[in-house]
Amino acid sequence: MEKELLQKRKETIYQFICDEFYVPMKAKEIAAVLSVPKDMRQELQEVLDALLAEGKIEVTSKGKYVKSQGKYLTGTFTAHQRGFGFVTVEGQEEDIFIPESQTHGAFHMDTVQVAIVSETSGKRREGTITKILSRGTASIVCTFEKSKTFGFAVPDNPKFGTDIFIPQERSKGAVSGHKVVVEITDFGREGRKPEGKVIEILGHVNDPGTDILSIVRAYQLPVEFSEKIMRQVENVSNEVSAADMAGRMDLREWTTVTIDGEDAKDLDDAITLSREGDCYRLGVHIADVANYVQEHSALDVEALSRGTSVYLVDRVIPMLPHKLSNGICSLNAGENRLALSCLMTIDQKGNVIDHTIAETVIRVDRRMSYTSVRKILEDRDEAERKEYEELVPMFEQMEELAALLRKKRMSRGSIDFDFPESKIILDDRGNPIEIKPYERNVATKIIEDFMLIANETVAQDYFWQELPFLYRVHDRPDKEKIKKLGTFIHNFGYTIKLGQDEFHPKELQKLLQKIDGTPEEAVISRLALRSMKQAKYATVSTGHFGLAASFYCHFTSPIRRYPDLQIHRIIKDNLRGRMNAKKIQHYEKLLPEVAEHSSKMERRADEAERETEKLKKAEYMADHIGEVFEGVISGVTEWGFYVELPNTIEGLVHIASLAEDYFHYSESTCELIGEVTNIRYKLGQKVLVRAVNVDNIMRTIDFQIVKSEEGTEKRK
């Protein structure tokens, strides 16, 4: 439904319900009174749902709509595997706790109406679900179990708490052990299970790739591109024509390189660097994807819908078809390529004293890898330096400039959370054979620093032009969360300053510098990160707290992120003189939806990526049961403590397994303390653990503490 039409209808229905002569009615009765034809009743329901979501109207226990008395709130129910859950209400920081007895048939992700039943100062609000307004899940990935006359499906997601009854004639021939997608046909009621039908068989649990495919389906990640889109892509030229290059700044004579991982195929950024006196001239060149993805085309609609590429452990689900991302839009060495370039003049203090944003044509001289550049700069590898002899001076200048930019960023308070990401290596059947931290070296930092300065420069340019734009924003953390962090770090002898009105990122940066190299570094860093808000896309530049930047955007990855592609269109319209009043109005209307949807798709991708990592880590540890590892305590709770191994795998030591004493949890010091022995387990402490159990369904790993003298078989 169009936004303006929906708004108009909402106003009409709301006025009707607010009328002094109105009596509470059900949706059918409202439709009859207003003479809404049967084929438009679904649209009436959408209007009523929208008014409910805004809290303007409420539904009585008998299903009748009334003007809101402020008695109910509307939000999204997040279930917990133990039966209880939480309702998140848009615009409210604190969610509402729902006890198991008060969920009243709500499933995970349902939109519900909730009444607050207790609101004690300092405690989380508690509520009861009074109405399920709409179901959040129509289909779910399950493991099928067959009996003689029927089947049942056990949801992969433990938040769905109950299995689903499948009549035999609706099982699609599934057998026990099949991973299936089930469409829920009846959500059940008190004492009666939900019912469903199998709509897709993904494969047997033991078949290679079925585990990841199950996660792909669970997060409803689109895999295939439609024939219409593929036909559109087939028509895209494989070469840059003279007509394509007309009117562009020609930079093909500039020495240009890409620096990426060895296995990267979509190369969307290239760099050039030279010295002019005391200043550096840095060129960041980004593939001009917008030249090939026309606004409102089928390809564009699909790219917006996906929002981002998704990087799972065994596959990439791309935002754009490979023919574009690995072909004409990839900045392959020796090929003419169209680009949008940000050309910056940077002084010795790391200040951008001049810049130009232009449509360009480039030709990359060498495709470099992070490993090669690291060998040249860090290892001073003679063979590598000889092979790339003509480029070595430029790489050395890149290292100098990156250090300048980093120093400037750090001086203003930019926070660098340096957590090791996991690199999971699989065999040809999808089994994990090695897990290790991703290497972050001089080369990865050079690219990171250059992309950051380009993103800042572009964002600042368009902010001052006062044109519609998409920014990447990161709001200031809540004071309460920072206070809790302050209380916690006090136990380790650290402090952070809280100003009257605001908390400056420099305080966090100072803290991270103080804990650098200490046993508690990983733990405090993680807690500091958890106290931060989530970065998102927005049409108003409110600044980026983590980077301590007033202006920031995503300009550098249009192959894999839709906001970057959208920004490129705005830049091109502006550069070509097309940014008239009509265009401005077009973008002002379009961008809020793009920002909200892109933020949502980014979160979905992050969650799917995390789940596949957890799955493969659990699979990996299943082959190492009984082995002993050294790790660091990364989290402490009343039910036990988490231990992280050097390879990034994390497992839980259950409090019940600590047999040498009765342990209690101290919230003030965040540690487990033995009542008799006074043995303490606290954050950052090194411990020896044995892997004792893995739950592949829950994707969890259990450890047990090992005494030092038992750890002779310890793995490093």
What percent of the chain is predicted at pLDDT more than 90? 56
- The mean pLDDT of 237-254, rounded to a whole number, is 93
Q: How far apart are CA 689 and CA 687, in angstroms?
A: 6
The domain spans of the chain are 1-70, 139-207, 227-473+543-610, 479-532, 624-713
Give the pLDDT band of residue 716 (cuts 50, 70, 90). Answer: very low
Lowest mean pLDDT among 22-31, 313-322, 512-521, 534-543: 512-521
pLDDT tens per residue, range 88-141: 887 777 889 999 888 888 889 898 888 887 766 556 788 888 888 888 888 999
Give how far the C-alpha of residue 545 lies from the chain's centroid of Cα atoms, to the nearest Å. 18
Residue 547 pLDDT more than 70?
A: yes
Which pLDDT does position 419 carry in this prediction?
67
Which pLDDT does position 122 carry in this prediction?
57
pLDDT tens per residue, range 419-478: 678 889 999 889 999 998 887 889 999 999 999 999 999 999 999 999 999 999 998 888
Q: Classify domain 624-713 at the CATH topology level.
A: OB fold (Dihydrolipoamide Acetyltransferase, E2P) (2.40.50)
Angle, helices 581-622/298-306, rounded to nearest 10 degrees: 50
pLDDT tens per residue, range 381-425: 999 999 999 999 999 999 999 999 999 999 888 887 766 788 899
Structure token pair of residue 663: 């342990």
Radius of gyration of the chain (CA): 28
The whole-model pTM stands at 0.85
Cα 277 to Cα 281, 344, 347: the distances in Å are 10, 14, 10
624-713 matches 1-70 in CATH topology: no
- Which of residues 266 and 617 earns the better pLDDT score? 617
Residue 714 pLDDT more than 50?
A: no
Which pLDDT does position 174 carry in this prediction?
93
Q: Give a three-class secondary structure readout of 191-216.
A: CECCEEEEEEEEEECCCCCHHHHHHH
pLDDT tens per residue, range 282-296: 999 999 999 999 999
Structure token pair of residue 714: 């310890």
Structure token pair of residue 470: 């998409």
Q: How far apart are CA 622 and CA 602, in angstroms?
A: 31
Q: How far apart are CA 568 and CA 555, in angstroms?
A: 7
Lowest mean pLDDT among 71-80, 124-133, 500-509, 656-665: 500-509
DSSP string, 73-96: EEEEEEE-TTS-EEEE-TT-SS-E
Q: Classify domain 1-70 at the CATH topology level.
A: Arc Repressor Mutant, subunit A (1.10.10)
Q: Classify domain 139-207 at the CATH topology level.
A: OB fold (Dihydrolipoamide Acetyltransferase, E2P) (2.40.50)
